[in-house]
């Protein structure tokens, strides 16, 4: 038996592709190696599922690696379309800080259940615990899909196997091998949206401390190559948190030995304004110790190490602080430098940079330019976005387009 369309991978991209294809009357077989759909979706947004962003659609593309490739897909299925799709099908949405769109129930589990219902309603045939190993295109144009449970035949195939990060969810990079054997170029995968290991061993003492409204910068040979504003977190290995995760996208692929990380604790104040503030703090607290005065400027639990970095005694009084010491404090507040060691790797990366080269995929249809009838959708493509719902939106948009055209 030859299936009309086989989709490999029941993540957001594969599921949306199945829905779009069956809506135009195509019979779909959706395969996954897991025992159920949407394993990664289930843990997305810390179990709350940040579905998309409600920024204007034209602002999306700058938030992606290879964002221009997505323009066509978004013209066919944008964030507005995705939000309408959920609302029309009974899922209430909420918008949180930073334009992040969540299900109102704040439950990724609800979203997974919702997809299961829609797939059933559309009579999408599901086949779980079946891992695809290889795909061949035969002389008659039919695809032979070699899976753990035997050979499957199809007129069209969509590869929606995801990236290589969080491999426990089923995405172990199989799609790359399958696509490479079909003649596609695979851009070397790197795990991004991840924390940084730092060279400073003492940083583990700051484990658990989080900083809000800081600017984190990546510096290579005295040049700022990227910066992100927001929240960061110190961990046993180094740093993490939203601003750091987003910064990891700029560092991916660079030579780690040259990278310095700089924290600006007071990004809202330029050096001159901050210096005036310091003068005020020191003169207004002339009999207080520097250790105590610093509590007005940075979290208490980082003060000792901060002073150590500047070679400053916590005991000196406000009225004893000289110009050089003030300049040292100013410089540490604006440019507290740490040494990058490496990214945390695939086990902890939220998303994968790299994958199937978008140059070999038609952006209007998601069809392979090399193998007609073969389509790609989601993270298996060399596309990745910032935190904030961009990655799920890319999976849904490319999934919709692949399903519509396959």
Ligand X SMILES: Cc1cc2nc3c(=O)[nH]c(=O)nc-3n(C[C@H](O)[C@H](O)[C@H](O)COP(=O)(O)OP(=O)(O)OC[C@H]3O[C@@H](n4cnc5c(N)ncnc54)[C@H](O)[C@@H]3O)c2cc1C
191 vs 238, beta carbon nearer ligand X: 191
Distance CA 399, CA 17 (A): 4
Q: Which of 60, 70, 77, 162 binds ligand X (CB under 6 A)?
A: 162
Q: Which of 3, 7, 12, 235 binds ligand X (CB under 6 A)?
A: 12
Interface characters, 231-250, with ligand X (x: CB under 6 A): --------------------
Q: Whose CA is closest to 179, among 146, 132, 135?
A: 135
Distance CA 326, CA 332 (A): 10
When asked if residue 66 is in the footprint of ligand X (CB under 6 A), the reply is no
173 vs 238, beta carbon nearer ligand X: 173
CA 322 vs. chain centroid, Å, equals 45
If binding means CB under 6 A, how many residues of this protein chain bind ligand X? 39
When asked if residue 375 is in the footprint of ligand X (CB under 6 A), the reply is no
Q: Which of 3, 5, 7, 40 binds ligand X (CB under 6 A)?
A: 40
266-269's contacts with Cβ under 8 Å and 24+ in sequence apart are: 266/297, 266/333, 266/334, 267/213, 267/214, 267/215, 267/229, 268/213
Q: How far is the CB of 9 from ligand X (least distance, A)?
A: 3
When asked if residue 50 is in the footprint of ligand X (CB under 6 A), the reply is yes
Pairing of strands 100-103, 93-96: antiparallel
For CA atoms 4, 6, 11, 12, the dihedral sign is negative
Q: How far is the CB of 52 from ligand X (least distance, A)?
A: 7
Backbone φ/ψ region at 208: left (φ over 0), alpha (ψ -120 to 50), beta: left
Cα dihedral angle (352, 356, 362, 368), rounded to 10 degrees? Answer: -140
Quick one: which segment of 63-71, 72-80, 163-171, 279-287 binds ligand X (CB under 6 A)? Answer: 163-171
When asked if residue 403 is in the footprint of ligand X (CB under 6 A), the reply is no
Q: Identify whether the C-beta of residue 373 lies closer than 8 Å to the C-beta of residue 156.
A: yes
When asked if residue 111 is in the footprint of ligand X (CB under 6 A), the reply is no
Q: How far is the CB of 361 from ligand X (least distance, A)?
A: 14
100 vs 217, beta carbon nearer ligand X: 100
Provide the 8-state DSSP code for 368: B
Q: How far is the CB of 13 from ligand X (least distance, A)?
A: 3
Interface characters, 379-398, with ligand X (x: CB under 6 A): x---------xxxx--x---
| Residue position matching structure tokens 């490739």 | 69
When asked if residue 195 is in the footprint of ligand X (CB under 6 A), the reply is no
Distance CA 225, CA 230 (A): 17
When asked if residue 75 is in the footprint of ligand X (CB under 6 A), the reply is no
When asked if residue 190 is in the footprint of ligand X (CB under 6 A), the reply is no
Q: What is the DSSP string of 74-115?
A: HHHS-HHHHHHHHHHTT--EEEEGGGEEEETT--HHHHHHHH
Q: How far is the CB of 48 from ligand X (least distance, A)?
A: 7
Interface characters, 126-155, with ligand X (x: CB under 6 A): -----xx-----------------------
| Residue position matching structure tokens 């978004």 | 74
Q: Which of 66, 161, 368, 397 binds ligand X (CB under 6 A)?
A: 161
Residues of this chain that interact with ligand X (CB under 6 A) are: 8-14, 31-34, 39-41, 43-45, 49-50, 131-132, 160-162, 165-166, 169-171, 174, 350-351, 378-379, 389-392, 395
């Amino acid at each position: 038996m030859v299936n009309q369309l086989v989709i490999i991978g029941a993540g957001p991209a594969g599921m949306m592709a199945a829905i779009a294809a069956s809506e135009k009357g195509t019979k779909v077989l959706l395969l996954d190696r897991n025992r159920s759909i949407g394993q990664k979706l289930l843990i997305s947004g810390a179990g709350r599922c940040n579905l998309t962003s409600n920024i204007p659609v034209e602002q999306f593309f700058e938030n992606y690696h290879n964002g221009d490739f997505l323009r066509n897909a978004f013209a066919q299925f944008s964030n507005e379309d995705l939000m309408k799709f959920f609302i029309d099908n009974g899922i209430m949405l909420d918008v949180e800080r930073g334009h992040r769109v969540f299900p109102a129930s704040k439950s990724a589990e609800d979203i997974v259940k919702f997809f299961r219902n829609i797939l059933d309603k559309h009579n999408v045939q599901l086949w779980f615990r079946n891992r695809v190993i290889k795909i061949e295109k035969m002389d008659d144009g039919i695809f032979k899909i070699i899976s753990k449970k035997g050979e499957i035949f199809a007129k069209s195939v969509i590869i929606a196997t995801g990236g290589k990060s969080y491999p426990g969810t089923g995405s172990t990079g199989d799609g790359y091998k399958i696509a490479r054997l079909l003649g596609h170029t695979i851009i070397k995968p790197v795990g991004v949206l991840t924390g940084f290991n730092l060279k400073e061993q003492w940083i583990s003492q700051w484990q658990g401390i989080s900083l809000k409204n800081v600017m984190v910068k990546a510096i290579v040979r005295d040049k700022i190559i990227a910066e992100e504003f927001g929240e960061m977190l110190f961990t046993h290995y180094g740093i993490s948190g939203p601003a750091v995760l987003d910064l990891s996208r700029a560092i991916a692929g660079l030579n780690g030995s040259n990278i310095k990380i700089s924290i600006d604790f007071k990004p809202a104040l330029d050096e001159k304004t901050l210096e005036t503030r310091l003068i005020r703090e020191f003169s207004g607290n002339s009999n207080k110790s520097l250790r105590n005065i610093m509590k007005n400027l940075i979290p208490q639990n980082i003060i000792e190490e901060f002073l150590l970095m500047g070679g400053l005694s916590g005991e000196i009084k406000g009225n004893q602080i000289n110009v050089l010491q003030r300049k040292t404090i100013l410089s540490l507040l604006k440019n507290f430098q740490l040494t990058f060691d490496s990214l945390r790797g695939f086990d902890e990366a939220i998303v994968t940079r790299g994958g199937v080269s978008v140059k070999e995929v038609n952006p209007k249809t998601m069809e392979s330019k090399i193998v007609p009838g073969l389509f790609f959708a989601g993270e298996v493509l060399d596309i990745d976005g910032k935190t904030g719902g961009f990655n799920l939106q890319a999976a849904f948009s490319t999934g919709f387009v692949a399903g519509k055209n396959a």
